[in-house]
Amino acid sequence: MSFLNAFFVDPFVQIADYPLFFIEVVIGGLLSGVMYSLVALGFVLIFKASGVFNFAQGAMVLFAALSFAGFIEMGVHPIFAFILAGIVMAGVAIAIERVVLRSLVNQPAIILFMATIGITYFLDGFGQTLWGSDVKVLDLGIPQTPIDVGGIFINQFDLFAAAVAGGLVLVLAIFFQKTRIGRALRAVADDHQAALSVGIPLKTIWAIVWTVAGLVGLVAGAMWGAKLGVQFSLALVALKALPVLILGGFTSIPGAIVGGLIIGVGEKVAEVFWGGAFGGAIEDWFAYMLALVFLLFRPQGLFGEKIIERV
């Protein structure tokens, strides 16, 4: 009885009693969802262009953040450190394309998936060998204090992160829609062979896509690193991005954003209002269950391309 009460009655009573608090939780969820979207974006870019389910995105986020923080520690100005870290990520992307992807062309998707887990191990180890494994503080000069907007408290840093994510999506959209390379990327995403036959260099495109995903990872790493400190647990952020990914659909950039927002809100609301009914710490699995429920109705995710199967 008490469980049913805690599950069906209490949360709604709480919401009705303190609507402002509920709105605050929702906004907090939306903003943290943006952070998940940042990581999920990198996955989507690579899956769209090369059909590879890149598990290493989390490791790339960690590696980028480690390099960024490492360069700052060496006394480089943050802007230059960001550029240097970007160059490092481009190097990583080209190396992955050269060594791994090129050798595994035409292999089944699961083999490529496994290879990206191998890359995950390698990057995790490499990053920490190179830059050390102690927690680095990454101070971007953005205050973490909440500001008061009409009785609702919003974390300033989360607002900044949301703005960055918005800007990033805008830049990516322009890059994909308006530039020559962007058009080539979309062509590759549509059909590898057709793209090859009209003279689009597939290998270069893959290197570019992985570089872009690396840069997205760098932005995500900088944001997450500034929020949590740069440490190994950043790589686990990828696990948070996976439900976002299946919810939004592997192939859709708007899906990654909307999925992130849904997961962020769902997770926060569930934890705050329903966590008590389950004994707390339901954040670990709630996102997956939420995504699973959505998937039962739309197996390709909310925005994924319709799966057409032929025999």
Partner 1 sequence: MLYREAGQFKTSYAKDWAIFPIAQDRIVVLGFLAIAFIAIPVLSSEYFLATILMPFLVMSMAAIGLNLLTGYAGQLSLGTGGFMATGAFAAYKLSTMFPGMPIEAVFLLSGVVAAFVGILFGIPSLRIKGFYLAVATLAAQFFLLWLFNKVGWFTNYSTSGVISAPPRTILFTDIYVTGPEASVTAKYLFALTLVAILALAAKNLVRSSIGRRWMAIRDMDIAAEIIGIKPLQTKLSAFAISSFYCGVAGAMWAFLYTGSVEPLAFDINRSFQVLFMIIIGGLGSILGSFLGAGFIIALPILLTNAPHLLGLNIPVDVISHVEYMIFGALIIFFLIVEPHGLARLWQILKEKLRLWPFPH
Binding site residues, partner 1, CB under 8 A: 53, 99-100, 103-104, 107-111, 113-115, 117-126, 128-129, 133, 239, 242-243, 245-246, 250, 278-282, 284-285, 288-289, 291-292, 295-296, 299-301, 307, 309-311
Q: How far is the CB of 110 from partner 1 (least distance, A)?
A: 6
Number of H helices and E strands in the chain, helices first, is 14, 2
State the amino acid at position 52 in one-letter form. V
| DSSP-based three-state secondary structure for 148 | strand
CB 126, min distance to partner 1, A: 5
| Residue 305 DSSP code | P
Cα 211 off chain centre by: 15
Look at residue 155 and give its three-state secondary structure.
Answer: strand
DSSP 3-state of 38? helix
Write down the least CB distance from residue 93 to partner 1, Å. 15
Nearer to partner 1, 69 or 245 (CB): 245
Give the nearer residue to partner 1 in terms of CB position, either 157 or 294: 294
Q: Could you tell me the CA-to-CA distances from 25 to 82, 201, 209, 271, 273 in Å, in that order?
A: 32, 47, 36, 10, 10
- Asked if 162 and 172 touch (Cβ cutoff 8 Å), the reply is no
User: Least separation, in Å, of the C-beta of 103 and partner 1?
Assistant: 4
Least Å from the CB of residue 80 to partner 1: 27
Closer to partner 1 by CB, 85 or 100: give it.
100
Residue 33 vs 243, nearer CB to partner 1: 243
Nearer to partner 1, 79 or 296 (CB): 296
Residue listed under structure tokens 């009693």: 17
Report the distance separating Cα 142 and Cα 138, nearest Å. 11
Rounded CA-CA distance 310/308 in Å is 7
Smaller CB distance to partner 1: residue 196 or 295?
295
Residue partners of 292: CB distance under 8 A and separation at least 6:
none
Closer CB to partner 1, 123 or 226, in the complex: 123
Shortest spacing between CB 203 and partner 1, in angstroms? 16
Closest separation between CB of residue 301 and partner 1, Å?
7
Query: Both ends of the chain: CA-CA distance in Å?
Result: 51
CA distance 302 to 289: 15
